[in-house]
């Protein structure tokens, strides 16, 4: 049993009046002990539930992410030749259960337009056990789960899109997934995954979805501590990056070299004739069928959702100067088959690496 880890537990678990927060260095050390199994299962479970109750503060989140950087996989983005910064889409690992996800289509639209995209996640996991991104990609004919990290790097360089698959590329973090079920609540790890950029530098654009407003403040302060200046926060569908059609989208934009650096955006989908009810998630099979129709340019209930999200991110990533133009471009890329062609390119590249 780690006596040092026990001291960390005592520090954060002493109650409202006497408990204290960890320093950034202590949080990094605690995360390292959990990932390397130097803390016991009892200690790890206690740490995660205590942090769930007290809520981790930005300096603790920053420290934990420091350890992710130290021990986790890193894609080399320093020598990429794309015209736009890499965009990392931070989506809850426990997936979607109520609303149809469109993150995969958004990523394909961005890659088609020349914006490199990194996604990350694992298999179905607690506490929601919703539909994960890896399963959606497999349904579209792309199985990232068998690629080595080198393969994933080459895929990014060649196609502008790749996926970090937790069980294969970051097994140290994947072994902590079981604790989510055992403690019955989403631990602070579920917040880390929304801010993590598995990259060689902080010169990326991170998109972080959230549900509860205080989480956005944690995002902003944590990114500031870690010197990430280019990020977007989205009060999205089920905490994802997907903008809702049924309500005003609440978006935070932080960009370097502009005044004000932080901007609050309230986006009304009805202003662009793209409002409506959020598309329900009935089954994985139906979702894949809806996506295939969109990629073939066939209108369906999900088409406007895909255009709305794709257009917003084309504008946010700097491909288009205004949102109206970006929405038009997203529709054109879909209906003229260019996004479908990008999917075929990625599928062929993944198959080649696996053979």
Cα–Cα distance measured from residue 303 to residue 186, given in angstroms and rounded to the nearest whole number:
32
Cα–Cα distance measured from residue 164 to residue 198, given in angstroms and rounded to the nearest whole number:
8
In the numeric block, the tokens 């890329």 are attached to 333
Cα–Cα distance measured from residue 63 to residue 69, given in angstroms and rounded to the nearest whole number:
10
CA angle, 230 then 235 then 236, to 5°:
105
pTM of the full structure: 0.97
Cα–Cα distance measured from residue 280 to residue 101, given in angstroms and rounded to the nearest whole number:
9
In the numeric block, the tokens 């959606």 are attached to 136
Cα–Cα distance measured from residue 192 to residue 204, given in angstroms and rounded to the nearest whole number:
16
Burial profile 106-124: b = 16 or more Cβ within 10 angstroms, e = fewer: bbbbbbbbebbbbbbbbbe
The beta-strand segments (E) located in 226-261 are: 231-234, 249-254
Of 238, 191, 152, give the one whose Cα is nearest residue 31: 191
CB 65 within 8 A of CB 222: yes
Peptide bond between residue 162 and the one before it cis (omega within 30 degrees of 0): no
Cα–Cα distance measured from residue 156 to residue 306, given in angstroms and rounded to the nearest whole number:
22
DSSP-assigned letter for residue 252: E
Digitized pLDDT (tens) for each residue of the chain, 355 residues in all: 579 999 999 999 877 767 899 999 999 999 999 999 999 999 999 999 998 888 899 999 999 999 999 999 999 999 999 999 999 999 999 999 999 999 999 999 999 999 999 999 999 999 999 999 999 999 999 999 999 999 999 999 999 999 999 999 999 999 999 999 899 888 989 999 999 999 999 999 999 999 999 999 999 999 999 999 999 999 999 999 999 999 999 999 999 888 889 999 999 999 999 999 999 999 999 999 999 999 999 999 999 999 999 999 999 999 999 999 999 999 999 999 999 999 999 999 999 877 6
CB 141 within 8 A of CB 130: no
CB 284 within 8 A of CB 133: no
**Within 10 A of 13 (CB to CB), how many other CB atoms are there?**
17
Cα–Cα distance measured from residue 119 to residue 164, given in angstroms and rounded to the nearest whole number:
6
Please report the sign of the dihedral spanned by the C-alpha atoms of residue 131, residue 135, residue 141, residue 142. Answer: positive
């Amino acid at each position: 049993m780690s006596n040092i880890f026990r001291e960390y537990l005592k520090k954060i678990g002493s109650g409202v009046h006497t408990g204290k927060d960890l320093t950034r260095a202590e949080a990094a050390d605690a995360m390292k002990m959990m990932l390397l199994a130097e803390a016991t299962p009892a200690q790890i479970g206690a740490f995660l539930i205590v942090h769930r109750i007290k809520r981790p503060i930005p300096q603790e989140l920053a420290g934990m992410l420091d350890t992710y950087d130290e021990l986790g996989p890193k894609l080399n983005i320093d020598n990429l030749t794309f015209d736009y910064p890499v965009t990392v889409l931070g989506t809850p690992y426990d997936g979607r259960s109520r609303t149809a996800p469109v993150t995969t289509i958004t990523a394909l639209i961005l890659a088609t337009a020349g914006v490199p995209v990194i996604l990350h996640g694992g298999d179905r996991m607690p506490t929601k056990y919703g539909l994960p991104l890896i399963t959606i990609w497999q349904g579209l004919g792309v199985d990232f789960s068998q690629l080595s990290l080198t393969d994933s790097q080459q895929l990014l360089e060649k196609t502008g899109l790749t996926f970090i698959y937790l069980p294969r590329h970051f097994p140290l973090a994947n072994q902590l997934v079981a604790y989510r079920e055992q403690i019955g609540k989403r631990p602070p790890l579920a917040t880390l995954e929304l801010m993590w950029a598995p990259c060689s530098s902080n010169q990326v654009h991170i998109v972080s979805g959230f549900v509860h407003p205080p989480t956005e403040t944690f995002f902003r302060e944590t990114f500031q501590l870690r010197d990430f200046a280019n990020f977007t926060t989205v009060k999205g569908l089920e905490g994802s990056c997907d903008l809702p059609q049924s309500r005003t989208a609440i978006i935070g934009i932080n960009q370097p070299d502009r005044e004000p650096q932080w901007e609050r955006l309230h986006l009304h989908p009805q202003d662009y004739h793209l409002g409506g009810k959020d598309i329900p998630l009935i089954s994985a099979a139906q979702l894949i069928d809806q996506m295939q129709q969109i990629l073939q340019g066939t209108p369906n209930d999900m088409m406007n959702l895909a255009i709305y999200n794709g257009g917003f991110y084309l504008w946010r990533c700097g491909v288009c100067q205004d949102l109206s133009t970006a929405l038009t471009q997203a529709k054109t890329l879909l209906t003229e088959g260019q996004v479908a062609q990008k999917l075929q390119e990625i599928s062929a590249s993944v198959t080649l690496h696996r053979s």
